[in-house]
Amino acid sequence: MSMIFGVPLAVLSGQLLIGIINGAFYALLSLGLAVIFGLLKIINFAHGAMYMLGAMTTVLMFDYLGVNYWVALLLAPLLVGAFGVAIEYFLLRRIAGQDHIYSLLLTFGIALIISGVLVNWFGVSGLRYAMPDMFKGGVNLGFMFMPYYRAWVIVAALVVCFGTWFVIEKTKLGAYLRAGTEDSQLMQGFGINVPLLISLTYGFGVALAAFAGVLAAPIYSVTPVMGSATLITVFAVVVIGGMGSIGGAIITGILMGVIEGLTKTFYPPASSAVIFLVMVLVLMFRPSGLFGKEA
Amino acid sequence: MNQPVNSADIHKAIVEEQAAQDRKKMMLNGVLLLILLAAPFMIYPVFLMKILCFALFAVAFNLLFGFTGLLSFGHAAFLATGGYTTGYLLSNYSGLTTEMGIIAGTLAATLLGTGFALLSIRRQGIYFAMVTLALAQLVFFFFVQSEFTGGEDGMHGIPRGELLGFINLEDNLNMYYFVLVVFIACYLLVQRIVNSPYGQVLKAIKQNEPRAVSLGYNVDRYKVLAFVISAALAGLAGSMKSVVFQLASLNDAHWHMSGEVILMTLVGGMGTLLGPVVGATFVVNIEYQLSQGALRDWVDPILGGIFVLTVLAFRSGIVGEIQKFVKKNLG
């Protein structure tokens, strides 16, 4: 067996793979945060709860309605996205003119309610979601074993990330979004329905989180509290990358996943902390973030 | 109505009114003090001490959030650092008197707060909140993995010991009056800070930071100092809490605790002196009442609901709304 730095290649590449997958989740989640932040200028503290809702709806729809994975992949983000639109319309909009701190606190309260209610219904021990049949097994790449599902997660996350980047940077709708980020009043003056755009943006960002949740359901333990710890890590990722660019959010997410995976191989005790340590370093030497423009 | 108006008369009237207001305030404070002194004879002292510790925690947080405009989402780290340090020292070095352990815990939190402050003021607004949250998570991981904290089990059986070597704190009444004295001292300190020229600059930073910068203030220095004082007082609250309950646990370090102190401050009234005290009393009571009844599993969602309601309907909090009401109807 070939070794690299005293670690078997298979172990190293296995951890790298897990790192890339975790990174794909960080990328999807920080992308959603960045999209919401762009137009609404708020940090969505309910993002972790929405990710969790995506995973929970997938499991529950399967258990009670027999909805399969592929339908869930479409339906869960739609449902959670609609929920997000409702939250924006009924709650966030009411404090739109206020200090952004309030909307942050509001979404924090919403997250407490959602996860608290679900903990009561389902407890904190994980729900099981069976791996879809077609993803069972994997392929031997010679130096490592690649489970099909993991490969799928990477592909799906990258496609969605790239699609989002494309829509925002290259299409007319994206141009509206970017213009709204610059000056939403002027946009309104041009006859564009900004409130609707804001609702849909929040819904879309939240749907991205739910999509990540569906992807996570077969490989992570699905619990009502799965979102909160992930969200804090994603915050660190966002601080590292800055929310200035969509591409930056994606790259930083995957990079941090890989660093975490490598740490797990070489020095396991630090693996849960390493992203936060990177954040400290970035704050010391490049306070505006790797891709950020403003402080 | 057309009486000649003498400016000296007006001045006299203003002075008299001021004096009357001061008298009212003094009386109010006196009544409050009497209530606090008599309270342990009517209510279980440990419960009162819990309120006082959380009130101090919220007062500390409010100095930063309410008066400087910096939302820290990581204050649990200071509460826990104070608690664990004091707990560890008092458990392992029997020669230490209680107040020495508490001072050491406060110092540890102050040090940590300095580190937090220097890093987090490099970003502003919501980034500041995210950085503090992430740093606190780092501290949380450290406490989870450290041996001395007892990990998931927590630190138990911390001796209350003797204050100054001769006041037995195992006695709940002694303990209560000690906590009360510390609390009042800290409250007065924060009041003094807020009303000092330094406090005025903090308010100016809160209202409009670029303006404060252009007036020539080194804003970062003011912010760091406010953060450090706030962290120190939060650590003191944690130290006292660990002595009172003879227990320090991971709950204190969890982000949940950082959220709770925000809620206390917000519900009571951010940016008011009495607000955090009222808010802490309110939240601790609600949690206690809920935990006794049929809704005991619903504490989190209910707290979340209070959060949402407060933000939507009464952002000024209990004390803030009362002040507004008094100003409108009686002023």
Query: Model confidence over B186-196: pLDDT tens digits?
Result: 999 999 999 99
Q: Under an 8 A CB cutoff, do B127 and A295 touch?
A: yes
pLDDT bin (cut points 50, 70, 90) of residue B6 is: confident
Between B122 and B187, the higher pLDDT residue: B187
Interchain contact B68–A (C-beta under 8 A) = no
Can you give the pLDDT at residue A294?
52
Q: What is the arithmetic mean of pLDDT over B257-286?
A: 94
Distance from the B207 Cα atom to the nearest Cα atom in chain A, whole angstroms: 11
Q: What is the arithmetic mean of pLDDT over A26-30?
A: 92
Q: How far is CA A193 from CA A35, A189, B250, in A?
A: 18, 9, 48
Can you give the pLDDT at residue B215?
92
Q: Is the pLDDT of residue A24 over 60?
A: yes
Cβ-Cβ contacts under 8 Å, A295 against chain B: 122-124, 127
Q: What is the arithmetic mean of pLDDT over A25-46?
A: 88
Interchain contact B137–A (C-beta under 8 A) = yes
Alpha helices in A91-244 (DSSP H): 100-122, 148-170, 172-182, 184-189, 194-216, 226-241
Distance from the B65 Cα atom to the nearest Cα atom in chain A, whole angstroms: 10
pLDDT bin (cut points 50, 70, 90) of residue A229 is: confident
Distance from the A34 Cα atom to the nearest Cα atom in chain B, whole angstroms: 12
Interface contacts A/B by beta carbons within 8 Å: 114
Q: How far is CA B146 from CA B104, B120, B140, in A?
A: 19, 24, 10
Which chain A residue is nearest to residue B124, measuring alpha carbons?
A: A295
* Residue recorded with tokens 């138990």: B156
* A112 vs B71, B120, B300: nearest CB: B300
Q: Which residues contact A237 (CB under 8 A, 6 or more apart)?
A: A26, A30, A252, A253, A256, A275
Residue A237 CA to residue B129 CA, distance in Å, equals 14
- Provide the percentage of residues in chain A whose pLDDT is more than 90: 37
Q: Under an 8 A CB cutoff, do A94 and B312 touch?
A: yes
- Provide the percentage of residues in chain B whose pLDDT is more than 70: 98
Q: Which residues contact A67 (CB under 8 A, 6 or more apart)?
A: A61, A75
Question: In this structure, what token pair is assigned to residue A246?
Answer: 């969509």
Q: Is the pLDDT of residue B218 over 80?
A: yes
Interchain contact B304–A (C-beta under 8 A) = yes
* Residue recorded with tokens 């849909």: A200
Interchain contact B286–A (C-beta under 8 A) = no
Cβ-Cβ contacts under 8 Å, A42 against chain B: 126
Pairing of strands A145-147, A3-4: unpaired
* Structural element, H or E, at residue B167: strand B167-168
Cβ-Cβ contacts under 8 Å, A232 against chain B: 133-134, 137, 255
Residue B81 near residue B238, CB atoms below 8 Å? yes
For Cα atoms A286, A292, A295, give the angle at the middle one, nearest 5 degrees.
70
| Residue-range domains of chain A with CATH | 3-285 (1.10.3470)
pLDDT bin (cut points 50, 70, 90) of residue A295 is: very low
Can you give the pLDDT at residue B331?
60
- Helices and strands counted in chain A (H then E): 11, 4
Q: Under an 8 A CB cutoff, do A112 and B304 touch?
A: yes
Interchain contact B266–A (C-beta under 8 A) = yes
Residue B254 CA to residue B234 CA, distance in Å, equals 14
Substitution target from A112, A117, A119, A238 for chain B, most B beta carbons within 10 A: A112
Q: Under an 8 A CB cutoff, do A232 and B124 touch?
A: no
Which chain B residue is nearest to residue A233, measuring alpha carbons?
A: B134
Alpha helices in A171-193 (DSSP H): 172-182, 184-189
Residues A158-188 pLDDT 10s: 999 999 989 888 898 888 888 877 787 888 8
Question: In this structure, what token pair is assigned to residue A197?
Answer: 């755009």
Q: Which residues contact A214 (CB under 8 A, 6 or more apart)?
A: A54, A55, A58, A69, A72, A73, A76, A77
Cβ-Cβ contacts under 8 Å, A109 against chain B: 304-308, 311
Residue B291 CA to residue B273 CA, distance in Å, equals 29
* B300 vs A106, A116, A295: nearest CB: A116
Q: Is the pLDDT of residue A245 over 80?
A: no
Q: Under an 8 A CB cutoff, do A283 and B120 touch?
A: yes
The pTM (predicted TM-score) of the whole model is 0.89
* B311 vs A106, A119, A295: nearest CB: A106
Which chain B residue is nearest to residue A113, measuring alpha carbons?
A: B301
Which chain A residue is nearest to residue B267, measuring alpha carbons?
A: A105
Distance from the A159 Cα atom to the nearest Cα atom in chain B, whole angstroms: 28
Q: Is the pLDDT of residue A293 over 70?
A: no
Q: Is the pLDDT of residue B56 over 50?
A: yes
pLDDT bin (cut points 50, 70, 90) of residue A243 is: confident
Amino acid at B331: G
- Provide the percentage of residues in chain A whose pLDDT is more than 70: 97
Name the β-bridge partners of A138: A147
B196 burial type by CB count under 10 A (0-12 exposed, 13-18 middle, 19+ buried): exposed
